Chain A
Amino acid sequence: MEHTGLNLTLKVWKQKNAATKGAFESYDVKNISTDMSFLEMFDVLNEQLISTGKEPIAFDHDCREGICGMCSMVINGRPHGPWNGTTTCQLHMRAFKNGDTITVEPWRAGSFPVVRDLVVDRSAFDRIIQAGGYVSINTGNPVDANALPIDKKLADKAFAAAACIGCGACVAACKNSSAMLFVSAKVSQLALLPQGQPERSSRVLSMVDQMDKEGFGNCTNTGACEAECPKEISLENIARLNREYMSAALASEE
């Protein structure tokens, strides 16, 4: 494959901390290999900046293989860039053309304040999980993994929901900054399995309650979250969350 060198202009959001106002800054990068990931392109740029005594750009990253959910950035108006079903670390520079100007912004949402540059504080998600995204397990001898029969179709749906990596692209993409796709994935993966039954009603009530407390917006079913989710979590989960919530609110004794 051809390793074309790309010359690009980057417009990147720079912001010192949550208290200061940020602004866009322009950078030129030269001879970027199309085989690089978007993050590697940032590594090259940061090396350049450091060697010339300038401040590098702060961005979140960890696994660099699409499973940790850290690499949050909005590239040309789309969370994780132009490719569907990928994270930023999986986005390759061949998605761009020589001479392109690329605008990079942090996740924008009141509930995800900017920490620095492209890094945002997603601890609101952690607090939602703490509110109910767990199951109680008895201590004692480990039970054989396959001792409990589970309908294959349900297991598949739970597995698909469990693919959510908590990246927050759903919130970043939603015009209402709603966290419904994330919460619905977390509620679904447990509500569908027998292990999740004991806390089933209390879980959905407290997780939704926490979601509202964190200041996320209300879902209006635009479907932007599903389209931008790197793990392609289905809107079906939001419908399930609505069902779970309604039946818990109406029928449970919580």
Chain B
Amino acid sequence: MGLTGLFLISFLLVHCGINACIFLNDNGETFNKAAHFMGTNLFIRTAEIGLFLGLLIHIIQGLVLTYENNKKRPIKYAVNAGNQNSKWYSRSMGLLGTLLLIFLIIHMGDFWTHSRVPGLVGGLPEVEYDGVVYHDLYAKMVEEFKEVFVVILYVISMFSLGFHLLHGFSSAFQSLGINHSKYNPMIKSVGFGFSIIIPLLFALMPLSIYFGLIK
């Protein structure tokens, strides 16, 4: 879980970095070009296979782990005081992960499929910069985030992501045996910052498009 988790965290960083280009207010030009690079570069496309593999392992491991662990206490406690010894999101990683999985399926249906299997779901709009034709992924974003329900779904899902990371980031290090008085403060604070900044940036994308804050 930890190893695949850290791998997915590195993906989030790249994904968020590229998408944040929309905040440059250039009508998505930089973003479209960056997305074009990601979609056409051979190295990135190979890494994408690794990403799907890592994601799949993470999901399967997580579901199996949750299922197995749920069986270990056949008779439950009548009184639970879980909040006095641990955080609710640490105890709810299976639930948060499942919410993220549902979001991921919807999210990939919204964007990824249009660029990879256009024959099936319809392709992306196109735009021309300096005589070169690019997919206008930004226009697709603007179109998607016109719908208030989509915006709400995306923002709520980023809360799931934030709490999932709040446990997952430091938990990954613990699972890999890294728990050391020299590095713990750094892991804790970087993990805390990451869990807030990345989901916040992601959530700001649909919000600022919906409220017309970027052009």
Contact = CB atoms under 8 A, between A and B. Distances in A.
B175 A218 contact: no
A183 B72 CA distance: 17
Interface string B63-87: 0010011011111111111101111
Nearest to A237: B179
29 contacts: A24-B78, A74-B79, A77-B80, A77-B81, A77-B84, A105-B79, A108-B76, A108-B77, A109-B72, A110-B71, A111-B72, A175-B69, A176-B72, A177-B73, A178-B69, A217-B73, A218-B68, A218-B69, A219-B175, A220-B171, A222-B86, A222-B90, A223-B87, A223-B90, A227-B85, A227-B86, A239-B177, A239-B178, A242-B177
Given A175-B69, A176-B72, A224 B77 contact: no
Interface string A1-12: 000000000010
Interface of A: 11, 24, 74, 76-78, 82, 103, 105, 108-111, 173, 175-178, 215-224, 227-228, 235-236, 238-240, 242-243, 246
B72 A224 contact: no
A243 B177 contact: yes
B174 interface: yes
Contact of B90 (A24, A109, A221): A221
Given A217-B69, A236-B179, A239-B177, A224 B85 contact: yes
Given A220-B171, A222-B90, A235-B174, A109 B179 contact: no
A77 B79 contact: yes
A15 B22 CA distance: 64
Contact of B72 (A77, A177, A222): A177
Contacts of A239: 174, 177-179
B177 A240 contact: yes
Contacts of B178: 239
Contacts of B86: 175, 222-224, 227
B81 A103 contact: no
Pairs A-B, 7 closest by C-beta atoms: A77-B81, A239-B179, A243-B177, A227-B85, A217-B72, A176-B69, A77-B79
Interface string B158-187: 000000000100010011111100000000
B136 to A, nearest CB: 43
Given A218-B69, A239-B178, A105 B78 contact: yes
Given A110-B72, A220-B69, A103 B174 contact: no
Interface of B: 65, 68-69, 71-82, 84-87, 90-91, 93, 167, 171, 174-179
Contact of A215 (B72, B84, B91): B72
Contacts of B68: 217-218
A246 B81 CA distance: 33
Nearest to A238: B174
B81 A76 contact: yes
Contacts of B179: 235-236, 238-240
A175 B82 contact: yes
B81 A78 contact: yes
Contact of B65 (A215, A218, A228): A218
B82 A224 contact: yes
A111 B208 CA distance: 52
A87 to B, nearest CB: 16
A69 B179 CA distance: 27
Given A77-B77, A235-B179, A221 B174 contact: yes
A220 B65 contact: yes
Given A110-B71, A220-B171, 9 more contacts: A78-B85, A108-B77, A109-B73, A218-B65, A223-B90, A224-B85, A235-B179, A239-B178, A243-B177
